[in-house]
Chain A
Amino acid sequence: MEKFRGVDYYGMEELLAEDERMIRDAVRDWVEAQFVPLVAEHHRAGTFPVGLIPKLGELGVFGASLKGYGCAGLSNVAYGLIMQELERGDSGLRSCASVQSGLVMYPIHAYGSEAQKERWLPVLQRGEAVGCFGLTEPDHGSDPGAMKTRARRTADGYVLNGTKLWITNGSIADVAVVWAKEDDGEIYGYLVERGTPGFGTLDIHGKFSMRASITSELSFQDCRIPAENKLPNVKGLRGPLGCLNQARYGIAWGAVGAAMACYDWALQYAQQRVQFGRPIAGFQLVQQKLVWMVTEITKAQLLVLQLGRLKDSGRLRPQQVSLAKRNNVQMALDGARLARDILGAAGIVDEHPIIRHMLNLETVNTYEGTHDIHTLIVGRDITGLDAFGAAQG
Chain B
Amino acid sequence: MKILVAIKQVPDTATQVKISGDPKAIETSGITWIISPYDEFAVEEALRIKEKRGQGDVVAVSLGPDRVKEALRSALAMGADRAVHVNDPALAGADTLLTARALAAVVKQESPALVICGRQAIDDDMGAVGAQLAELLGWPCASWIMEETVDADAKTVRVGRQVEGGLEVFDLPLPAVLSAQKGLNEPRYPTLKGIMGAKKKEIKDVKAADLALGDAAPQLTVTTLEALPPRPPGRIIQGEVKDAVKELVRALREDAKVI
Q: Does A associate with B in a complex?
A: yes
* Residues of A in contact with B (beta carbons under 8 Å apart): 2-3, 5, 18-19, 22-23, 26-27, 29-30, 58-61, 64, 72-74, 78, 82
Contacts A3-B14, A22-B77, A26-B189 known; A74 to B70 CB distance under 8 Å? no
> Is the beta-carbon distance between B189 and A59 smaller than 8 angstroms?
yes
Find A59's partner among B191, B196, B198 (CB 8 Å cutoff): B191
* B171-221, CB < 8 A from A: 189-196, 198-199
Tell me, yes or no, whether B62 is within 8 Å of chain A by CB.
no
Q: B85 contacts the other chain (Cβ, under 8 Å)?
A: no
In the assembly, what is the distance between CA of A3 and CA of B194, in Å? 25
Which residues of chain A are near B195, meaning CB under 8 Å? Answer: 19, 22-23, 26
A7 to chain B, nearest CB (A): 13
Q: Determine if B73 is an interface residue (Cβ-Cβ < 8 Å).
A: yes
Cβ contact of A60, chosen from B14, B191, B198, B199, cutoff 8 A: B191
Q: Which among B70, B73, B192, B196 is the interface contact of A61 at CB below 8 angstroms?
A: B192
Let me know if A18 and B70 touch, CB within 8 A: yes
Report whether B191 and A22 are in contact in the complex, using a CB–CB cutoff of 8 Å.
no
Q: Beyond A2-B14, A5-B14, A19-B199, is A58–B70 a contact (Cβ under 8 Å)? A: no
Least CB distance, A236 to chain B, in whole angstroms? 33
B74 at the interface (CB under 8 A from A): yes
Tell me if A58 and B191 are in contact (CB < 8 A).
yes
Q: Tell me which of A3, A22, A27, A82 contacts B73 (CB under 8 A).
A: A22
Query: Can you spell out 16 A-B residue pairs with CB atoms less than 8 angstroms apart?
Result: A19-B195, A22-B73, A22-B74, A23-B192, A26-B189, A26-B190, A26-B192, A26-B195, A30-B189, A58-B191, A61-B192, A72-B192, A72-B196, A73-B196, A74-B192, A82-B192
Name B's interface SS. Answer: helix
B interface list, Cβ under 8 A from A: 14, 70, 73-74, 77, 189-196, 198-199
- B-chain residues with CB within 8 Å of residue A27 when the two chains form the complex: 192
Task: Given contact pairs A22-B77, A60-B191, enumerate 10 new A-B contacts (beta carbons under 8 Å).
Answer: A22-B73, A22-B195, A22-B198, A23-B192, A59-B191, A60-B192, A60-B193, A60-B194, A61-B192, A72-B196
Report yes or no: A72 in contact with B193, Cβ–Cβ below 8 A. yes
Nearest chain B CB to A90 CB, angstrom units: 19
How many residue-residue contacts, CB under 8 A, span A and B? 46
Question: Are A74 and B191 neighbours in the complex by a CB distance under 8 Å?
Answer: no
Q: Are B73 and A18 in contact (CB under 8 A)?
A: yes
Q: Closest B-chain residue to A11, C-beta based? A: B30
Closest CB pairs A-B (n = 3): A60-B192, A72-B192, A60-B191
Cα of A50 to Cα of B95 in the assembled complex, Å:
49
> Is A64 a contact partner of B14 (Cβ separation < 8 A)?
no
B189 contact set on A, CB distance < 8 A: 26, 29-30, 59
In the assembled complex, which residues on chain A have CB atoms less than 8 Å from the CB atom of B74? 22
Which among B77, B190, B194 has the highest number of chain A CB atoms within 10 Å?
B190
* Bound: A168/B196 CA distance, A: 30
**CA separation between A380 and B192, bound complex, in Å?**
38
Selected from A5, A22, A23, A60, the residue in CB contact (under 8 A) with B70 is: A22
Complex: chain B residue closest to A3, CB-CB = B14
B192: chain A residues within 8 A (beta carbon):
23, 26-27, 59-61, 64, 72, 74, 78, 82
Minimum C-beta distance from B61 to chain A (A): 19
Specify which chain A residues have a CB less than 8 angstroms from the CB of B193 in the assembled complex. Answer: 60, 72
In the docked arrangement, what's the CA distance between A26 and B74, Å?
9
Q: Could you tell me the distance between the alpha carbons of A30 and B195 in the complex, rounded to whole angstroms?
A: 14
User: In the assembled complex, how far is the CB of residue A27 from the closest CB belonging to chain B, in whole angstroms?
Assistant: 8
Bound: A27/B192 CA distance, A: 9
Which residues of chain B have C-beta atoms less than 8 A from A64's C-beta?
192
B14-A74 in contact (CB<8A): no
Give Cα distance in the complex from A318 to B54, angstroms.
Answer: 48
CB distance from A312 to the nearest CB of B (A): 14
Q: How far apart are the CA atoms of A218 and B193 in the complex, in Å?
A: 34
Chain B residues positioned under 8 Å from A23 (CB to CB): 192, 195
Distance from A8 Cβ to chain B, minimum over Cβ atoms (Å): 10
Chain A: minimal CB distance from B93 (Å): 27
Taking each of A3, A29, A30, A72, which has the highest tally of chain B beta carbons within 10 Å of its own beta carbon? Answer: A72
Q: Contact check, A19 vs B191: say whether CB atoms are below 8 A apart.
A: no
- The CA of A18 and the CA of B76, in the complex, are separated in Å by 13
CA distance A27 to B198 in the complex (A): 16
Please indicate the chain B residues that have their CB under 8 angstroms from the CB of A30 in the complex. 189
Considering the chains assembled together, what is the distance between the CA atoms of A172 and B115 in angstroms? 47
How far, in whole Å, are A22 and B70 apart by their CA atoms in the complex? 8
Question: Given A72-B196, A73-B196, A74-B196, do A22 and B190 touch, yes or no (CB 8 Å)?
Answer: yes
B117 → chain A closest CB, angstroms:
22
Given the complex, which residues of B lie within 8 Å of A60, measured CB to CB?
191-194
B141 to chain A, nearest CB (A): 31
Q: How far is the CA of A19 from the CA of B194 in the complex (A)?
A: 10
Q: Measured between C-beta atoms, what is the minimum distance from B43 to chain A in Å?
A: 14
A95 to B70, CA, bound (A): 31
In the assembled complex, the Cα of A29 lies from the Cα of B191 at a distance in Å of 12
- Give bound CA distance, A27 to B189, whole Å: 9
Most buried by A among B70, B192, B193, B194: B192
Shortest CB–CB separation between residue A126 and chain B, in angstroms? 11
List the A residue with the shortest CB-CB distance to B188.
A58
Residue picked from B14, B74, B191, B194, most chain A C-beta under 10 Å? B191
CB-defined contacts of A19 to chain B, threshold 8 Å? 195-196, 198-199
**Shortest Cβ distance from A10 into chain B, in angstroms?**
13
Of the candidates B70, B196, B198, the one having the most CB atoms from chain A within 10 angstroms of its own CB is B196
